[in-house]
């Protein structure tokens, strides 16, 4: 038997997901980085600010194939956000690195998320923040376990 709050929880989850995606997409389109898609933005986030990550590492983090990631990276290289860097020891190994423009976007995207989190928790007391964190951990664990 469903709990009475089931429908409310479902509605809020759907609404929060939709709104976060809409706000992120709108913010990106209205910024100096309007030439990027959300998929490309998340690729930049996965490459990271300082890391020289292998293509396979980034693909695994994004849950895509290396081939799929290569298509995205090709576009990001052309747009000037990402560099491919061959390792000196083994020239077959290619790492991904953000350009200055890519790092700027990464920082702005990170600031967007930090501002959002601060705004969400600013009016919550410590027990409410703890409860929210616990619920989000449970949700994250559940989503991580889903194999598609």
pLDDT of residue 110: 93
pLDDT tens column, 35-68: 999 999 999 999 998 878 999 999 999 989 999 9
Mean pLDDT over the full length of the chain? 91
pLDDT above 70 for 24: yes
Q: What is the pLDDT of residue 94?
A: 85
Domain residue spans in the chain? Answer: 6-145
pLDDT at 107: 94
In order of 7, 77, 93, 125, 138, the CA distances from 82 in angstroms are 43, 5, 16, 41, 34
d(CA 35, CA 79): 8
Three-state SS for 20?
helix
Buried/exposed code over 33-51 (b: 16+ C-beta within 10 A; e: otherwise): beebeeebbbbbbbbbeee
Query: For residue 96, which phi and psi values (nearest 5 degrees)?
Result: -105, 140
pLDDT tens per residue across span 77-102: 999 999 999 888 888 888 999 999 99
Q: pLDDT confidence of 108, banded at 50, 70, 90?
A: very high
Predicted pLDDT at 60: 92
Q: Find the length of the chain.
A: 148
Distance CA 45, CA 110 (A): 9
What angle (nearest 5°) sits at the alpha carbon of residue 65, between those of residues 62 and 66?
100
What is the model's pTM? Answer: 0.83
- CATH: 1.10.10.10, 2.40.50.100, 3.40.50.170, 3.40.109.10. Which one for 6-145? 1.10.10.10
How confident is the model over 1-18, as pLDDT tens digits?
A: 577 788 898 999 999 999
Query: What gap in Å lies between CA 137 and CA 139, rounded to an integer?
Result: 5
Whole-number pLDDT of residue 1: 52
């Amino acid at each position: 038997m469903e709990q009475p709050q089931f429908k409310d929880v479902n509605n809020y989850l759907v609404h929060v997901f939709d709104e976060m995606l809409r706000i992120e997409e709108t913010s990106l389109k209205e910024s100096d980085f309007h030439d990027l898609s959300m998929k490309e933005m998340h690729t930049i986030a996965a490459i990271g600010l300082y890391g020289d990550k292998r293509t396979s590492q980034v693909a695994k983090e994004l849950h895509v194939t290396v081939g799929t990631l290569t298509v995205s990276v090709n576009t990001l290289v052309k747009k000037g956000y990402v560099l491919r860097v061959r390792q000196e020891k083994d020239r077959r190994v290619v790492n991904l690195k953000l350009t200055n423009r890519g790092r700027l976007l990464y920082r702005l995207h990170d600031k967007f998320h930090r501002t959002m989190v601060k705004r969400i928790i600013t009016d919550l007391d410590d027990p409410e923040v703890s409860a929210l964190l616990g619920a989000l951990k449970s949700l994250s664990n559940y989503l991580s376990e889903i194999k598609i």
